[in-house]
Amino acid sequence: MSASPFLVERAGDIERWTLNDPATRNALSDAMVVGLYEAALRAQQDDSLRVVVLTGAPGAFSAGGSLGHFASAIGRPLPPGEADPLIAMNRRFGDVLHALCALPQMLVCAVDGPAMGGGFGLVCCADHVLATERSVFATPEVTLGLPPAQIAPFVWQRLGDAAARQCLLQGRSYSATQAQPLGLVDELVANDALEVALRDRLAFMLRTAPRAMASSKRLLQHLREEVADLREEAAIAFAQALRGPEAASGLAAFARKQPAPWVPKS
C-alpha cells in the first residue's frame, strides 16, 4: 500500500501536516490539495488545537503544482461551449490558500529544501516561517508560459508590491539568506537544526493565550479581506494559459532542459 500524500500527526494541542510525496519533491497533487483543504476546514472548528506546523517530507518543502493531471490539456484549446475543468482544479488550490489564512491557530511553515510555485504560495500564508540555509524559494511560472495565478495575491500581501513584482514577473529564485530580508523567511537555521529550532519556537508560541491569539488573527484577517478575491479570475487565467501555445512550448522546453523559445539565443 502506498503512503498517503498528506499526513496529519497530533501531539497535544499541536498538529503537524506533512506534504508527503518525496519522489516528486512533494509536488501538489490533487490528493494533497484535498488533504490540505479538509485539514484546514477541520482545524477551523477545533478549539483545542493551538498550532499547525506545515512541512514537507525530507528533501523538499514542495516543488509546486503537479502538472501530471493537466498533461492532456497543455496547448489544447477548449472546444467551444465546454466548461473547462482546469478552472475548478486551479480554483481548489486558491481555496486552500484562503483556508490556511483563515486558520484561527498559528500556522508555522518549516521549510527544508525547495519551495517552488504553489509551495512558495503556501509559505506566504504562514504566521511564522522557519527555513534551513539550503532552502530555495522560487516562482518560475512566467518562465514556463504560465501566470502565478492563485499565489499572486498572497505573495503580494506577504512581500509587498515592489518585491512581489520582482518575484512574480521575473520568475526569480531566492536562497534562504536572500529570502529573509524580503520578509519571506522569519527565522533562518542551520541545515541540521530545523527540528530543534521548531521545538524552541513552538514552546515560545505556546506562551500566548489561545483565545487572545485567535482573536488577533481574526482582526488581521479583516485586513486581508480588504484585498479583492481573485480566485475565479486567477483560475480562468491559469486555464487559458495552460491551453495556449506559450505553456505548451515552455513546458516542453523545460522537460528537455532547454531554453524556452522566447529566450534570446546567445
pLDDT at 29: 93
Nearest to 154 by CA among 203, 98, 109: 98
Looking at residue 2, its pLDDT comes to: 63
Predicted pLDDT at 66: 85
Q: Is 149 exposed, middle or buried (0-12, 13-18, 19+ CB in 10 A)?
A: buried
Report the predicted TM-score, pTM, of the whole model to 2 decimal places. 0.96
Q: Which residue type does 123 have?
A: V
Residue 3 has pLDDT above 90, yes or no: no
Does the pLDDT value for residue 122 go beyond 90? yes
Examine the pLDDT at 1 and tell me if it is beyond 50: no
User: By C-alpha distance, which of 43, 8, 50 is closest to 213?
Assistant: 50
Block residue for cell numbers 498572497: 154
CB neighbours of residue 6 within 10 Å: 22
Q: How far is CA 25 from CA 115, 147, 189, 211, in A?
A: 9, 21, 21, 36
